[in-house]
Amino acid sequence: MRKILLAILFMAACGMQVSAQQNLFVAQDIESAIVHDDNTVTFNFKAPDAGKVQIAGDFAEKAEGQHIGGMVGAGLIDMAKKAEGIWTYTTKPLKSELYSYQFMVDGVPTLDPNNVYVYRDFATLSNVFIVGNGQADLYKVNKVPHGTLSHQWYHSDGLKTDRRINIFTPAGYEQSGDKKYPVLYLLHGAGGDEDEWVTFGRATQILDNLIVQGKAVPMIVVMPNGHAGMEAAPGESSWGFYKPIHLKEGTMDGAFEENFHEIIDFVEANYRVQADKNHRAIAGLSMGGFHAMHISRYYENAFDYVGLFSAAVMERPGQDKGVYGNFKETLKKQIANGMKLYWIGIGRDDFLYEANADFRTRLDKLGLKYEFLETEGGHVWTCWRTYLSVFVPKLFKE
Amino acid sequence: MRKILLAILFMAACGMQVSAQQNLFVAQDIESAIVHDDNTVTFNFKAPDAGKVQIAGDFAEKAEGQHIGGMVGAGLIDMAKKAEGIWTYTTKPLKSELYSYQFMVDGVPTLDPNNVYVYRDFATLSNVFIVGNGQADLYKVNKVPHGTLSHQWYHSDGLKTDRRINIFTPAGYEQSGDKKYPVLYLLHGAGGDEDEWVTFGRATQILDNLIVQGKAVPMIVVMPNGHAGMEAAPGESSWGFYKPIHLKEGTMDGAFEENFHEIIDFVEANYRVQADKNHRAIAGLSMGGFHAMHISRYYENAFDYVGLFSAAVMERPGQDKGVYGNFKETLKKQIANGMKLYWIGIGRDDFLYEANADFRTRLDKLGLKYEFLETEGGHVWTCWRTYLSVFVPKLFKE
């Protein structure tokens, strides 16, 4: 017996497969999503008996109207079968970016068993990889000082429940004595939750990297859950391990915005915060942009910086009660109170492009000065990560 | 255009599929791993063209010598194909537990596309679900006050790098003024990292639940990375999104143990901690049990509570330098200094069972009094979650 144990320890010490558990599941003995120095990427997948294996990825050229196997927005690439039953494909050099993909194995969506990096977008998982040598170097964990990410819970009297909130404090926060920090409130989209900016958004990496490069000032980033009907992200609440569903109540009905002061109060009570308008920013993507617009208007003198990323800012007839009421008057008030930055970013292919153009016309009429960035791309993370990395360096510089 | 936008918002409001991104990947329109009230569980998987679909799960009866398709330790169950191309299987009532599984689709390991709850064990992912009505109710996020989990980084002079560490503070910590808390240092196994006790270990849920039930005192739980050669868990370090490999250096070579005082110092400098032996516990599973045993012996007067869960406590000839030297003498010193609890747990089917029996004989000879728990099961999380939930209530009660 002792010999067996020593053999196992020896195997472990030599880098062989000895899992924590007694190997419930063993990975295929190949690597995949290998990012080469020239920014090409090789995928491998072992399936000797499969008839057809494809990659559904956001790096693939999308054929017009392509909509196969439940995948939209991602192109499909055929993989080639090698003699050993391994399917393989190498891309051309890719632009620096964080990419998502799955395999389609005889039409069935299949995660890559040789890539353990998987993010959830609403009700689906996809594998991810990062191609560096450019913009996406900001999305990597680099050898730099790192901030702290805390998954915390605050109590909401208004929503009558405890709610989960992710809070990033910059590197050095714990060791900085009485120093107080500015705060960015960063809001997610309709399919997301408090974890979305941490996973696909790479917010903590972007902040770590911009701060160490001297491009952003050290700041706290607060990422709450924007669905007023939810306690927390799927799997993190008392709802258990359920299949994510969109909420019928508590999403874009005003309850999140009306109770937002509870989040500010919680942050300012529990963190060393510069608790004034000069040092508060709010930004969000899609539904989160809608939230940021309304919250900054409703709390008309609370934020000096507002960021709308592909924001859902269309007019919604009939939506004029509570926090949504007196739209023009409160916006005028917000303008009169003064702001340092009202920032709008949108991709040319975004389905909200026209709504944002309409919204800018309304702002122009009201005399609200904003910065505007139009980029390539649609309603996708490629844009939102870029917008965050452009927006954050503009904050809290006096 | 406005009509389209309103339609989309209407869809969102009505709970239809509008993802944050423009639906890169769409889930299959079925549910799977549905846990019924009677503790049976139904799996569904859509694959019209597959020839054979099986479930590889740790809840399945394992045939003798079964070792199919790279899966060991998990049994295989054939699913039945319904007319619509959906494969299905319903279990018999299962014992309350957190279970893991994958599908095998014509022999290819495939994650369930209709279950987004996935944990990584070393280099593989598996789907998970929880069957309640028993022990595993402790593993659920219940509607109780929740502690905070922080992913933080400390600097190690000894290991010459910043290192990631997970720290749980109990509910009420932030609001408790000057109150100081006891600390449990909780260590992972050879295939794991600082995230392992958070995912498969369900440590934060176990602590939340035991504390609210009055069975455990509020405590801080510190989960470091036990591989001295690593900065952080795979994907969380400057190594990027690589395929997890076992370390050749820095694992069980003494470096982690010898530098453990840096972790204690960091925790005691940054948290409100009762910084004395009475209020320090250390426990770990497998390699982490080996670490806990050696650390508590090396820092001979630092811990009043020691927990060895399926610990790798075999004698290792030739391993007698540095922290591993003077085994008997230091253990005698540790005993002479006094301890409140030395706790050992092991499963009858564990490959380390005999090594633990030998170790207990050595302790008996030295006169070290320990508590011992022998359970069903092997070298698996079922045991370690149980051991944690038995060990934690014994801590810091004076």
Amino acid identity for residue B183 in this structure: V
Q: How confident is the model at residue B167 (pLDDT cuts 50, 70, 90)?
A: very high
Q: What is the mean pLDDT of residues B274-292?
A: 98
Domains B26-132 and B139-394 share a fold: no
> Cβ B142–A9 below 8 Å, yes or no?
no
Phi-psi category of residue A84: left, alpha or beta, with phi > 0 → left and psi -120 to 50 → alpha: alpha
Neighbours of B361 (CB within 10 A): 10
Smallest Cβ distance to A235: which of B19, B111, B117? B117
Distance of residue A327 Cα from the nearest chain B Cα, in angstroms: 18
**Distances from the Cα of B152 to the Cα of A282, B165, B172, B181, B220, angstroms:** 24, 5, 20, 19, 14
Q: Which CATH superfamily is domain B139-394 in?
A: Alpha/Beta hydrolase fold, catalytic domain (3.40.50.1820)
ipTM of this complex:
0.93
When mean pLDDT is compared across A14-23, A230-239, B202-211, the lowest value belongs to A14-23
Asked whether A200 and A98 are in contact (CB, 8 A), the reply is yes
Domain ranges of chain B: 26-132, 139-394
Inter-residue contact A277 to B47 (CB < 8 Å) = no
Neighbouring residues of B319: CB distance < 8 A, sequence distance ≥ 6: none
Nearest residue on chain A to B236, judged by CA atoms? A141
- What percent of chain B is predicted at pLDDT more than 70? 89
Architecture of domain B26-132: Sandwich (2.60)
Q: Write the pLDDT tens digit of every residue in A135-171.
A: 999 999 999 999 999 999 999 999 999 999 999 999 9
Query: Among B25, B44, B319, which would you mutate to test the A interface (most chain A Cβ atoms within 10 Å of its Cβ)?
Result: B25
Chain length of chain A: 398
pLDDT of residue B122: 87
Kindly report the nearest CA distance between residue B337 and chain A, in angstroms.
Answer: 31
Q: Give me the total of CB pairs closer than 8 Å, taking one residue from chain A and one from chain B.
A: 345
Q: A237-253 burial, b for 16+ CB within 10 Å, e for fewer?
A: beeebebbebbeebbbb
Q: Write down the mean pLDDT value for chain B.
A: 90
User: B105 and A107 in contact by Cβ < 8 A?
Assistant: no
CATH placement of domain A142-394: 3.40.50.1820
Residue range B132-153, pLDDT digits in tens: 999 999 999 999 999 999 999 9
Residue A4: predicted pLDDT: 41
Question: Which chain B residue has its CA at the smallest distance from A8's CA?
Answer: B351
Confidence of residue A316 (pLDDT cuts 50, 70, 90): confident
| Cβ-based neighbour number of residue B380 at 10 Å | 21
Separation CA B109–CA A51 (nearest Å) = 16
CB-CB neighbors (< 8 A) of A47 in chain B: 106-108
Residue among A48, A146, A191 minimizing CB distance to B162: A146
Whether residue B188 has pLDDT greater than 70? yes
For the domain spanning A20-133, the CATH number is: 2.60.40.10
For the segment B337-342, the average pLDDT, to the nearest whole number, is 97
Per-residue pLDDT, B62: 65
Find the range with the poorest average confidence among A74-83, A291-300, B207-216, B255-264. Answer: A74-83
A86-134 pLDDT, tens digit per residue, is: 999 999 999 999 999 999 999 899 999 999 999 999 889 999 999 999 9
**Who has greater pLDDT, B65 or B118?**
B118
pLDDT higher at A70 or A81: A81
